[in-house]
Structure 1
């Protein structure tokens, strides 16, 4: 005997199907298309958002973007390069002479490293081979390399050795990148081992600065690193949506746009 699917469940399934096709739709459109009131649609969207199936936005909703794979760093180094250079320059300006900073792996953090040449008496802790190579010849920088197991695609060091080293160090600021950033799901990354290392990185500094171009927002990867509120400052580009910027500032996160 076939069990009849409840009307509300069918409607939720219809909304998901529409969003998969459209990616974004307004409440008024869903109301007209499904023949129910706008308050009903808003309640439906709230239910779907609670289980991670949609992202509610002002006046409508969009399909969540899932990020499960990541190209190697050598392929990503030229992607969105102008935005990353501006972000790197602005993030570097937030670093003061004499500070100890942690500089994580990634293509945007590498741009931060490119703009540290005029800093004085800086101590830089890093788990990134390309950043260590970039800074090794600078006599004004005391460079601490964490050691660890090499993640070849990222030219980064992850795992227990890195984590143990960082538990014995303290930084004024940690400048990190992240695969995906979401107001609801926070900071997420692809590799499970890297995710655990990222959690320790965040705990080693008094201030956490996230560098992320606009492509990183409203996306979710596999491993949860930390809630978005674990970040104190975000440096992004001028294409990040104003609504996203305002939501972040409402959470008392300082946001700079390059």
Structure 2
């Protein structure tokens, strides 16, 4: 018999993580996997939750965590994704990078690409690449400067992006819904991502596994409109198959287990 109290406990855990694997939830709650799976099936009957093969997610938008919290949350996954993303950037490429914790981590890897030009609305991204003291050409996009790592947004930023025609636009949504929508909590961020996709020759979407299947408030575009999606190895293959079936063109999976902890440096920006 299912304990309603434990279903509520699981619900609170999923809300806190947005999306969590059943294995991790079982470990956290001190339950065996079969018992946890039974709870998850009952929880998924509620409209605001959805159960996948080995994970369950909370479907209701919620406030974003503070930038400094996000910078450390799922850091290994973001680091692996950033390393893989930078491998597709060639010497001399012009790249447009939006703001956010994943992009700040990505900047560590972009700084290693020779003769790269980076246009960004993020002071943190610009600072990271400048601090690497490489020959990178940095262009900071102006506009209304938002606090908490959201970068410069608004009409000035949108007009600037529209005229860039860069080789790559790199974006990282707050969530990638099960329907393939690239979603943001802040409307101005969704508009900026949409402008990046419209102006750049190719678009790369970075999305760690905690965001897959998790919607937010504003849709920037469909992931099928991007040229490449990079996720980490925590995403179930069936979810990726579903996204490909919806038109997502080119999916690459970053192997989190392959990252050596000795190579990773936590940021404090």
Instruction: Tell me whether 1:122 sits opposite 2:116 in the alignment.
Output: yes
Structure 2: stretches of 5+ with no match in the other structure = 1-10, 13-38, 255-269
TM-score, reference length from structure 2: 0.72
2:164 pairs, out of 152, 169, 172, with 169
Provide the residue aligned with 2:236 in structure 1. 241
Whole-angstrom CA distance in 2 between matches of 1:212 and 1:117: 20
Whole-angstrom CA distance in 2 between matches of 1:63 and 1:90: 26
Q: Residues 81 and 63 of structure 1: is their aligned pair in 2 closer, same or farther, counting only changes over 3 Å? A: closer
Provide the residue aligned with 1:218 in structure 2. 213
2:64 pairs, out of 63, 70, 75, with 70
Provide the residue aligned with 2:82 in structure 1. 88
Instruction: Tell me whether 1:254 sits opposite 2:247 in the alignment.
Output: no
Structure 1: stretches of 5+ with no match in the other structure = 1-19, 31-51
Aligned pairs, how many? Answer: 217
Q: Over aligned residue pairs, what C-alpha RMSD do you find?
A: 2.9
Q: Residue deviations 1:61-96, cap 9 Å, x none?
A: x77612221012112111111111111111110101
Q: Residue deviations 1:132-153, cap 9 Å, x none?
A: 1112244421111111111102
Question: Over alpha carbons, which structure has the higher Rg?
Answer: 1
Q: Residue deviations 1:115-144, cap 9 Å, x none?
A: 123322211110111001112244421111
2:104 pairs, out of 106, 110, 114, with 110
Structure 1 residue 228, shift from structure 2 partner:
2.0
Provide the residue aligned with 1:136 in structure 2. 130
CA contact (8 A) 2:77 2:232 kept: yes
CA contact (8 A) 1:23 1:63 kept: no
TM-score, reference length from structure 1: 0.75
Instruction: Tell me whether 1:99 sits opposite 2:86 in the alignment.
Output: no
Q: Residues 221 and 229 of structure 1: is their aligned pair in 2 closer, same or farther, counting only changes over 3 Å? A: same
